[in-house]
Amino acid sequence: MRTPPSPPTVLLVEDHIAVRTLQRFLLQRVGMTVVECDDLADGERLLREFTPDMVVLDVNLPSGHGLSLLPLIDRTSTRVLVMSGMNQAHLARLSLRGADAFMPKPFEPSAFLTQIQELLPWPAAQ
Amino acid sequence: MKGHHLLLGFGILSLGISLSLTVLILATVVTLLGGYASTEAQSVATVLGFTCVAGGLCCAVLSGLQFAQLSAQERGERNGQLREAQWSEALLAWAYHDTPLPQPLDQAGAETLLKLRDTITGEHSDKLQDLYAQEGWLARDLTALARPYLSVVARAQIIERLALLREARALDALSHELTHPHREIRALALLALSRSVGRLNLGHDDRQTRTLALHTAIIRGQFSVGQVQEALTLLGDAGHPLARNLLTTGTLALRVATLEVLSRQRSSALHDDVTGLLYAGQDELRAGALKVFVRSGQVPAEAAAVVLALTADPTSFVRLQATRAAAHLTPCPLERLWVLMGDGHWWVRRAAAQGLSQTPAGQNLLHRARSSHPDRFARDAATEALSASTEHTGTAVPSTVHVRTPWVAGQA
């Protein structure tokens, strides 16, 4: 009997509760497992505890710059989507040096899911 | 949770320090005055002792109160976060699955709705916008805003809510606030309108009317240059009619500020309007117009001659922008850039060398300039540009390159 693949785990690093809840809601709807935190220190701790399949990283966090987490991420097994409310070209370029994709806020929920699924193909995704 | 622990720790520390100080003061008083046997000394000791005890008790009570206040504040914040999380889930379930809301939209629910509305675009965002109106919050805000004696703080809060909501039905009320006597209210209304008009899909005529209303308010001189720049940025492409008007009718500061925003937007949409400013008498306008071309990476063909002419402008910062813009001309004016590498101004020399490094022909010229440009500063500029180009591309620069460039042979 074939065992179904386990759902991918996505780590959300986002300080705004409403945004984080929205991201979790969208990802859980397509069957992904979500782990979340709201600041850099928790993000660092979680990245040391386990290796997520993907990190959705906010740039502006109360405790520092979200991109400072990039060196801690094992890029061989983890994809990174950087998100920011500051839709600036230099920020996008900066993010893409260490990330797989950049998405500005506000965002279209379906575009967010499409982006995630492009980076992290998951059979249950719609 | 970390903030909560920090506050609790701070409260406990304050309380501990206060109690320790009280004990220390008492012990000191007893030790110092214990040896005095006279009646006067005993009287002084009693007064001092009473004062110290009272002071210590005051410290202890104040610390206790501070501790209680911080705890209550932290508890309130945690409850607020919890309510926001609950409302986020309820609103998303309503928007995606039509699940009824658990209760009518209260203050916390309305604020969470606005945050979600501000975070996402598209169909579900519009559903949330409609819900705000259906639950009576929009009517409540508009009615309150129409009251002449509403406090400034309450008015500002409503305008901020309407800015997040981006609601076409609120635009008239926000426009009315552009004439409010309080300058902060006017500024908030300007930004709320810019944000809404920039992100709403208004019809062409409506959008034109709204932006022109902003122009009238701006020209009245009621806003700072920074606020106008922020408004233009929030408007995005919708702000082009306003930018066009400001470029022709604004003060010098407003025209320069508008050019700065256009350069940041890297758009070529207003190049025709900007080209005319290349002939302006003010240095800031000429430099600002050139910067718009530089940042967009394009120079209109009809502006090529004047851009080249401005590379000889007497003002160094105009010359700098003209040199940068000249590098985007087609064909690239290699000869002129070669000459500009010997300019008296370091930034111009550097810009000329960087401009040359963008094309293979220019790079060949830089190799030649590095060894044989008549100006020693130009040789330095060429060396630096080649080094930077090497770091960027990761290719080694040959130490000697033989390039034949007939038109610079005489200069070399």
**Domain extents in chain B:** 331-412
User: What tokens does B280 get?
Assistant: 């302006």
Summarize pLDDT for B11-68 with one digit per residue, the tens. Answer: 777 777 777 777 777 777 676 666 555 555 556 667 677 777 777 777 777 788 788 8
Q: Which residue of B has its CA nearest to A110?
A: B122
Coil, strand or helix: which one is B280?
coil
pLDDT at B404: 37
Summarize pLDDT for B322-333 with one digit per residue, the tens. Answer: 999 999 998 889
pLDDT at B390: 72
Q: Is residue A47 part of a domain?
A: yes
Peptide bond into B331 cis (omega under 30): yes
- Note the maximum CA span of chain B: 112
Does the distance separating the beta carbons of B120 and A107 come in below 8 Å? yes
Radius of gyration (Cα) for chain B, nearest Å?
Answer: 34
What interhelical angle do B152-165 and B137-146 show, nearest 10? 140
* Distance between CA atoms of residues B87 and B165, nearest Å: 17
B287-314: average pLDDT: 94
Q: How confident is the model at residue B210 (pLDDT cuts 50, 70, 90)?
A: confident
Q: Is residue A88 part of a domain?
A: yes
Asked whether residue B402 carries a pLDDT value surpassing 50, the answer given is: no
Give the count of alpha carbons within 13 A of A89, CB side only: 7
B77 in contact with A at a CB cutoff of 8 Å?
no
* Distance between CA atoms of residues B228 and B194, nearest Å: 10
Asked whether residue B290 carries a pLDDT value surpassing 90, the answer given is: yes
Which CATH number belongs to the domain containing residue A103 in this structure?
A: 3.40.50.2300
B113-124: average pLDDT: 93
- Nearest Cα to A116, choosing from A67, A87, A83? A83
Helices (H), B181-282: 183-199, 204-219, 225-235, 240-249, 252-265, 271-275
- How far lies B237's CA from each of B164, B172, B195, B211, B247, in Å? 19, 21, 12, 11, 15
Contacts of A21 in chain B (CB under 8 A): 85, 88-89, 92
* Distance between CA atoms of residues B61 and B66, nearest Å: 9
- Min mean pLDDT across A87-91, B101-105, B245-249 is at A87-91
Shortest distance between the Cα of B123 and any Cα of chain A, in A, equals 9
B262-270: average pLDDT: 89
Supply the pTM of this predicted model: 0.77
* Distance between CA atoms of residues A116 and A27, nearest Å: 9
Asked whether residue B353 carries a pLDDT value surpassing 90, the answer given is: yes
Answer yes or no: are the C-beta atoms of A23 and A106 closer than 8 Å. no
Print the domain residue range for A79.
Answer: 9-118
Q: Is residue A95 part of a domain?
A: yes
pLDDT at B124: 92
B115 in contact with A at a CB cutoff of 8 Å?
yes
Q: Is residue A4 part of a domain?
A: no
Contacts of B108 in chain A (CB under 8 A): none
What ipTM does the predicted assembly reach? 0.87
Q: Is residue A44 part of a domain?
A: yes
Tracing tokens 């899909």 back to the chain, one arrives at B201
B116 in contact with A at a CB cutoff of 8 Å?
yes
